[in-house]
Amino acid sequence: MRWIRTIIVSLCLFAPAGYAMAQTLDDLAYETVEPPRIKLGESAILRVTSFGRIKDVTLPIIPGLVFEPMGRSQGFDFVNGSTLPATFFSIRITPQFAGVFTIPGLTPSSRPVGLEVVKGDEPNPYTWHSQQPTPAPVPIGSLPKGVQLQAGGAAFVHLAIPARPIYVGESVPVEIDVGLRAGIVTSVNGLPTLKGSDFTFNNLSKQPERREETIDGGAFILLTWHSALAAVKPGDFELSAEAPLTVKMSTLSAADRAVASRLAYPLLQSMYSGVAPKEMTIESSPLQLKVLPLPLEGQPDKFSGAVGEFRASSDVAPASVAAGEPLTLRLHISGAGNFDRVDSTMFDHLDHWKTYPAKSSFTPSDAVGNEGEKVFEQPLIAAQPGEQSIPGLEFDYFNPNTRQYEHLQTPEIKVTVAASLASGLGLNSASATGAAAGLRPDHRLPQGSVSELRPLYFRALFLMIPTMLALLLAGSWFAVRPNAARATSKAAKRVLAELDAAARAGDSSVFFAAAKRVLLQSFAARWQMPADQITIAELKARLGATAEDLERLFAIADETKYSDDQSGGTDFQRWIGLIRDQLISERE
Amino acid sequence: MRTGKIPMLITGLALWAGQALAQTPQPTYSADGLYNQANAYARAGKPGLAVLSYERAALLAPADPDIIANLAYVRASAHVPVKPLSRFARLAEAASPTVAAWLGVLGIALVGVGLVAGRVAARFLWIPGGGVLLGVALMVLAAANAMLLWPRLHEAVILIDQAPARVSPAPMADTAFVLREAESVTMTAEHEDFILIRSGGGLTGWVSRANLGAVLPSD
């Protein structure tokens, strides 16, 4: 019984308090006008935020202002760092004349708000007090057609592609819009992705376009990414986009939320602030895209697969060159389309010009590379001086708008080619010829090769060969004994001349003395023994019968040396013959 | 025993052959290959690399008229001054360094053999004498060829246009002067990633190693 009494007492005490808290929450509401100052002809948004159970608000009647209800939505509002369920009413206010208006509170607890309407040419009085520009009013937008809010009304993703059929290879721009309710979506966890097979996608623009809009009475941040897609084969395909997000979601059940809505602010609200971030991926509605094949009829031979709308022009730089000096011929292809398939080989061959392979560069003018300019550059070298002409360049592409192949041709370019550069630089004749004719042609495939570029005579291994050879030959030179006969031949000639002179003079003493000396020297060199050790016996032993004549010659020499006997003078020629024979036999 | 050793020997030979095959092959050079490579660089609009390849080809075949003509042509196209070869240089470089090296060896052999023969011979001394003279001539030819080629071994070619030559071997050092692409310079010293060069005009400065290519690769 006691506890029943306790309950009754408690009810009596707390019921009025609970009712009061509920009534307080029902009455809690506030209004905002954005922007608070507008020009005549513009509109402002009156936003009523109610934390109670208000179903509707009554529009006020104020002369000069027209109120249009825009809608009612439910969500969360953040008050003092806490999330509370709230109901939002959006009302568009359009002024009819300038002035300062006071809009009364549309709920019992909301305060009046003011709206200032100025004429279009009226200066802004606030600029006297602040250098900060007046923030632009948040434009009012609406959800794209066929798009629904996802993640509890916190976000949406919209994919925009051309509605018309596209052609295989055609590059078409794609837009991905992601709308995020301010304060509810806490982060975008990566770039949106396109889902669809049989397509190639360009990279998304690095930084999305960001703008704010009021959609369904709620503030939304709209992020727009751009890309381009191209179909690789014909057919009917589906395409969609998805974006990863983190959204603040209520973790409370419906019953808990009902209880929470009854709680007075700020009392006990923390017990029911069951809002937690949740990662999720939202996806756009799939779109149908029809891809047509490129027509085969009328397809040019040089068609490279370029699809789009292009313009072509060409130029050269410099406009005048010397023969042998390179110039650059440029082909500019600009417009919109699949620039990765825009290709041109320029000139493979050109009379009076030496051509080189062309290279290209692309400069996009939009974020996704669907529009821009591709420039082909080809170096050319004039082979001969004079007024030269470069024919126009051609480019073929398929225009998806006209649905036919287009042919572009640039006009012919005149170039003045001066005399050879090489002659001006004073090059030798060989190089001048080379300059006039451009580069000389390649050689045949190389036959032999070396493993090192360093010349042989600077390699240590090779230097060993001449060193060893030189040492070997030097050793041989020292090892080989000089030819004795050669050493004595000159002396023998000299002595023979001396003997002839003595014979002609009839001087036998000089003749025989010289004869004996040269013969002994000759024998000594031949037999490798001292001359004074050569005896008659030695001569007989070595020369045999010839020794007798030599013995007699030596005897006469001794006789003439110690006497004045000149008897042998008539035999001078015989003795000279004998001596010459001995000297010749020695050399042989 | 013998039957067991033969398979082991075969296995060992196979392993040795495998190791030999697995070794990184050394780069090979040929005058024609380098010349064709230089032509390709020239057509691609890379005069620095083209001149470098021509210079390397000229190391192997200095008298090749195509190499001389195209080297002069590319240098002229790149507005790099061309030094005309002297008559002596053209004469000395008529033979390739390899031929000149072997001619020098032959010259040494002729001189040596001539001297030895002259020492031992008693008649027809003009034959070893002529051999000695011919040998000396061949040695002079080889020496002249080597002397002319020696400076080229220390040359390098600038590979980028407006390559800065700095006052000190540091990336942030002041630029003393700039060098044209395809210009030949002489390397005199090196420090880390910089090489001290002397330009054709006699200016000296430090150039980043990445901005030039040595005519004689360091391998």
Instruction: Return d(Cα B202, Cα A458) in angstroms, integer.
Output: 27
Task: Give the pLDDT band (50/70/90) at residue A564.
Answer: low
Q: Mean pLDDT of all residues in chain A? A: 78
The number of C-beta contacts closer than 8 angstroms across A and B is 166
Q: What is the pLDDT of residue B30?
A: 87
More confident residue, B205 or A263: B205
Q: What is the mean pLDDT of residues A297-317?
A: 89
Q: What percent of chain A has pLDDT over 70?
A: 79
pLDDT at A344 over 70: yes
Q: How confident is the model at residue A422 (pLDDT cuts 50, 70, 90)?
A: very low
Residues across chain B: 219
Nearest to A427 among B45, B76, B119 (CB): B76
Contacts of B68 in chain A (CB under 8 A): 430-431
- In this predicted model, what pLDDT tens digit does every residue of A502-516 receive, in sequence order? 888 888 888 888 888
Mean pLDDT of B149-157: 88
State the average pLDDT for chain B.
Answer: 84
Residues 114..173 of B with a Cβ closer than 8 Å to A: which? 115-116, 119-123, 142, 145-146, 149-150, 153
Under 8 Å between Cβ of A346 and A369? no
> How far is the C-alpha of B38 from the C-alpha of A442, rounded, in Å?
9
- Choose, out of A453, A471, A483, A586, the residue to mutate when testing the contact with B (most B CBs < 10 Å): A453
Question: Is the confidence at residue B53, as pLDDT, over 90?
Answer: yes
Which residues of chain B from 20 to 59 reach within 8 Å of chain A, CB to CB?
A: 26-33, 35-36, 39, 42-45, 56, 59
Please check the confidence at residue A429 and state whether its pLDDT lies above 50. no
For residue A494, give how far its alpha carbon lies from the nearest alpha carbon of chain B (Å).
Answer: 17
| Confidence label for B188 from pLDDT (cuts 50, 70 and 90) | very high
Question: Do the domains at A141-291 and A303-422+431-435 have one common CATH topology?
Answer: yes
Nearest to A357 among B27, B43, B98 (CB): B43
Instruction: Find the CB nearest B104 among A379, A466, A477.
Output: A466
**Minimal CA separation from A195 to chain B, in Å:** 42
Reference A348, options A389, A380, A386; nearest CA is A380
Q: Where residue B213 falls among pLDDT bands split at 50, 70, 90? A: very high
Both tokens assigned to A90: 């959006």
CB under 8 Å to A7, separation ≥6 — which residues? Answer: none
- What radius of gyration, in Å, describes the C-alpha atoms of chain B? 24
Encode pLDDT of A232-253 as tens digits.
Answer: 888 888 888 888 888 877 666 6
- Main-chain dihedrals φ then ψ at residue A426, nearest 5 degrees: 75, 35
Quickly state the pLDDT bin for A427 (edges 50, 70, 90): very low
Q: Which two tokens stand for residue A451?
A: 């493993």
Rg (CA), chain A: 59
Nearest residue of A to residue B56 by CA position?
A453
Most confident of A422-426, A441-445, B106-110: B106-110
Q: Which residues in chain A have their CB less than 8 angstroms from residue B121's CB?
A: 483, 486
Answer yes or no: is pLDDT of A529 > 90: no
B35 contacts: CB under 8 Å, gap ≥ 6: A442, A443, B53, B54, B57, B61, B64, B66, B67, B70
Question: Where does the pLDDT of residue A343 fall: very low under 50, low under 70, confident under 90, or very high at 90 and above?
Answer: confident
What lies within 8 Å, CB to CB, of B61 at 6+ separation is: B31, B35, B67, B96
Q: Which of A76-85, A454-463, A473-482, B193-202 has the lowest mean pLDDT?
A: A76-85
Assigned token pair, A488: 């004595």
Using CA of residue A286, residue A290, residue A294, residue A298, what is the dihedral sign?
negative
What type of residue is B66?
Answer: D
Q: What is the nearest CA distance from B77 to chain A, expressed in angstroms? A: 6
Query: Is a pLDDT exceeding 70 seen at residue A476?
Result: yes
Give the pLDDT score at A449: 79
What average pLDDT score do residues A371-390 get?
A: 84
| Partner-chain contact B59 A453, CB within 8 Å | yes
**pLDDT score at B207:** 93
Largest Cα span, chain B: 76
Which of A584-588, B12-16, B168-172 is predicted least confidently?
A: A584-588
Read off the tokens for A404. 């036919």
Q: How confident is the model at residue A423 (pLDDT cuts 50, 70, 90)?
A: very low
Mean per-residue pLDDT, A377-400? 85
Judge whether residue A127 has pLDDT over 60.
no
Minimum CA–CA partner of B36 in chain A:
A442
Note the pLDDT of residue A260.
61
pLDDT of residue B18: 63
- Nearest one of A304, A85, A275 to A186, comparing CA atoms: A275
Contact A422 B56 (CB under 8 A): no
A472 vs B contacts (CB less than 8 Å): 112
Give residue B219's pLDDT: 58
ipTM for the predicted complex:
0.78
Mean pLDDT value across residues A451-467? 86
Rounded to the nearest angstrom, the gap between the alpha carbon of residue B8 and the centroid of all alpha carbons in its chain is: 45
Contacts with A430 from chain B: Cβ below 8 Å: 65, 68-69, 72
Strand arrangement, sheet containing A113-118: A37-39, A113-118, A99-103
Percentage of residues in chain A having pLDDT higher than 90: 5
> What distance lies between CA B164 and its chain's CA centroid?
26
What's the fold here for domain B159-214? SH3 type barrels. (2.30.30)
Subunit contact A477:B100, Cβ cutoff 8 A: no
Amino acid at A216: D
More confident of the two residues B169 and A547: B169
Q: Is the pLDDT of residue A467 over 80?
A: yes
Give the tens place of pLDDT for each residue, A81-115.
566 778 888 899 988 888 888 888 888 777 888 88
Q: What is the pLDDT of residue A426?
A: 38
Q: Look up residue A458 and give its two tokens.
A: 């600077």
Instruction: Tell if the CB–CB gap between A451 and B77 is shorter than 8 Å.
Output: no
Which residues sit opposite A284 in a β-bridge? none
**In which band, very low, low, confident or very high, does the pLDDT at B24 lie, cut at 50, 70 and 90?**
low
Q: Greatest CA separation found in chain A?
A: 193
What CATH topology corresponds to A141-291?
Immunoglobulin-like (2.60.40)
* CB-nearest partner of A465 from B65, B105, B113: B105
Q: Where are the domains of chain A?
A: 20-121, 141-291, 303-422+431-435, 484-587
Long-range contacts of B69-72 (CB under 8 A, 24+ apart): B69/A430, B69/A431, B69/A433, B69/A434, B69/A435, B69/A440, B70/A434, B70/A439, B70/A440, B70/B35, B70/B38, B70/B39, B70/B42, B71/A431, B71/B38, B72/A422, B72/A427, B72/A428, B72/A430, B72/A431, B72/A434, B72/A435
| pLDDT (average), residues B139-152 | 87
From the list B30, B44, B74, which residue is nearest A449 (CB)? B30
Residue pLDDT, tens place only, B72-126: 889 888 888 777 777 777 776 777 888 888 999 999 999 988 888 887 776 677 8
Can you tell me the distance from the alpha carbon of A153 to that of A253, in angstroms, rounded to the nearest whole number? Answer: 17
**DSSP per residue over B173-195, as a string?**
SPEEEEE-TT-EEEEEEEETTEE
Using a CB-CB cut-off of 8 Å, the residues of chain A touching B153 are 454-455, 458
The hierarchical CATH code for the domain A303-422+431-435 is: 2.60.40
Distance from first CA to last CA of chain A, Å, rounded?
Answer: 163
Class of domain B1-82: mainly alpha
pLDDT score of B186: 93
The pLDDT assigned to A381 comes to 80
Amino acid at residue number A41: G
CB–CB of A508/A562 below 8 Å?
no
Contact across the interface for A447 and B66, Cβ inside 8 Å:
no
**A115 to A62, A63, A101, A216: CA distances (angstroms):** 12, 13, 5, 21
Segment of A79-93, A168-182, A425-439, B202-216 carrying the highest mean pLDDT: B202-216
What are the structural domain ranges in chain B? 1-82, 90-150, 159-214
SS3 A342: coil
Q: What is the CATH number of domain A20-121?
A: 2.60.40
- The stretch A287-298 carries a mean pLDDT of 89
Whether B68 contacts chain A with CB within 8 A: yes
Contacts of A220 (CB under 8 A, 6+ apart): A141, A179, A180, A181, A182, A212, A213, A214
Residue length of chain A? 588
- Please tell me the predicted confidence (pLDDT) of residue A265: 47
Contacts of A565 (CB under 8 A, 6+ apart): A508, A559
Predicted TM-score (pTM) of the model is 0.39
Mean pLDDT value across residues A116-135: 62
Residue B54 has pLDDT above 90, yes or no: yes
Closest Cα in chain A, distance from residue B17 (Å): 20
B178 versus A138: the higher-pLDDT residue is B178
Cα–Cα distance for residue pair A207/A422, rounded to 1 Å: 53
For residue A430, give the chain B residue with the closest CA.
B69
Residues of chain B positioned with their CB less than 8 A from the CB of A587: 122-123
Where does residue A61 rank: exposed (0-12), middle (13-18), buried (19+ CB within 10 A)?
exposed
pLDDT at residue A489 in the model: 65
Alpha carbon distance A107, A89 (integer Å): 11
Write the pLDDT tens digit of every residue in A128-187: 444 556 666 777 777 787 788 887 788 889 888 888 889 988 888 888 888 888 777 777
